């Protein structure tokens, strides 16, 4: 553990570095995939209808967080859905 000037243990330094690194990784993912946290995106989802046909539905979702392997989206009703990045980029409707 790192010690401060008076010789007492200082856990703040060790806790700050992982948080800074995590934030840098999230910002890199935002830049890589072209979406930011808090942004509203439109996605197109195929839903099976009762009559055996597939209907395309456009949903407005808010980006909650970008994790290492998936992205978390929240619908206006509060329901959350997560997608892997390759799947998300396929259903993303760039307007």
**What's the whole-number mean pLDDT along residues 7-27?**
85
Domain ranges of the chain: 11-93
Neighbours of 70 (CB within 10 A): 15
Distance in angstroms between the alpha carbons of the first and the last residue of the chain: 50
At 47-94, the pLDDT tens digits run 887 877 888 899 999 999 999 999 999 999 999 999 999 999 999 987
CA distance 83 to 72: 7
What pTM was computed for the model? 0.78
The reported pLDDT for the residue numbered 94 is: 79
CA distance 28 to 79: 26
Which CATH topology does 11-93 take?
A: SH3 type barrels. (2.30.30)
Residue 39's nearest CA partner among 16, 59, 65, 17 is: 65
């Amino acid at each position: 553990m790192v010690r401060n000037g008076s010789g007492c243990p200082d856990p703040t330094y060790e806790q700050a570095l992982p948080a800074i690194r995590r934030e840098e990784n999230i910002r890199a993912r935002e830049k890589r995939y072209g979406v930011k946290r808090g942004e509203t995106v439109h996605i197109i989802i195929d839903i099976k209808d009762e009559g055996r046909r597939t209907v395309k539905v456009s949903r407005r979702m808010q980006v909650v967080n970008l994790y290492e392997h998936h992205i978390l989206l929240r619908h206006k009703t509060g329901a959350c859905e997560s997608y892997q990045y390759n799947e998300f980029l396929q259903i993303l409707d760039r307007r």
